[in-house]
């Protein structure tokens, strides 16, 4: 049985992920020459949830963020891209945390996860649009993922480091 404090903390992380998603959707692309590229600050809260509370809670935060974000942004079609990419990214993160952490850093996990997220979105575009031309975008989204993963990974690292221990183990 989950404690009410833990439930509230996971709910807060889901709310923060959704807010970050909504704010970032209003911003211009991260790379001017690459439309649609974002830092992905909402992934910071999914990663924090994974580290602090585990896979199941991180999955819940991810689903809430993707589902409500697509509804609130008025673009339900974006769910076809954000949810599979988020799930692939979370799966990679879970596997790396389970198998390789602490041999690899949170920053490394974040970069690999972000690159996986972006490539999954390209694969979804290829599948949905039936246009192989979108595959030419893979090098660009790989670069964007490396940049975004570095930024979000640093945010996660410093956030975990700054949290009081009593908040981490609810």
- 112 close to 148: Cβ distance less than 8 angstroms: no
34 three-state secondary structure: strand
For residues 46 and 55, is the Cβ–Cβ distance under 8 A? no
Domain boundaries, the chain: 4-168
| Residue 151: Cβ within 10 Å count | 19
Residues 6+ apart with CB under 8 A from 144: 30, 31, 34, 37, 118
Tell me which DSSP letter residue 170 carries: -
Q: What is the pLDDT of residues 58-92, one digit of tens each?
A: 999 999 999 999 999 888 888 999 999 999 999 99
pLDDT band at 1 (very low <50, low <70, confident <90, very high): very low
Categorize the per-residue pLDDT at 167 as very low, low, confident or very high, splitting at 50, 70 and 90: low
- From CA 102, how far away is CA 22, in angstroms rounded? 32
**Between the ranges 35-39, 68-72, 111-115, where is the mean pLDDT highest?**
111-115
The CATH architecture assigned to 4-168 reads Orthogonal Bundle (1.10)
Rg (CA), the chain: 16
DSSP assignment, residue 132? G
Distance CA 51, CA 151 (A): 17
């Amino acid at each position: 049985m989950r404690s009410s404090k833990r439930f509230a903390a996971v709910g807060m992380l889901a709310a923060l992920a959704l807010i970050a998603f909504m704010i970032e959707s209003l911003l211009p692309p991260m790379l001017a020459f690459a439309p649609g590229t974002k830092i992905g600050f909402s992934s910071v809260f999914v990663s924090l949830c994974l580290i602090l509370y585990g896979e199941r809670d991180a999955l819940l935060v991810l689903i809430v963020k993707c589902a409500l974000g697509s509804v609130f942004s008025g673009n339900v079609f974006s769910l076809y891209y954000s949810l599979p990419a988020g799930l692939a990214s979370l799966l990679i993160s879970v596997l790396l945390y389970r198998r390789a952490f602490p041999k690899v850093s949170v920053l490394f996990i974040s970069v690999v996860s972000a690159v996986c997220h972006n490539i999954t979105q390209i694969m979804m575009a290829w599948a949905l649009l039936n246009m192989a031309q979108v595959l030419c975008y893979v090098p660009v989204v790989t670069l964007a993922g490396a940049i975004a993963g570095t930024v979000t990974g640093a945010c996660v690292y410093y956030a975990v480091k700054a949290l009081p221990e009593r908040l981490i183990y609810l």
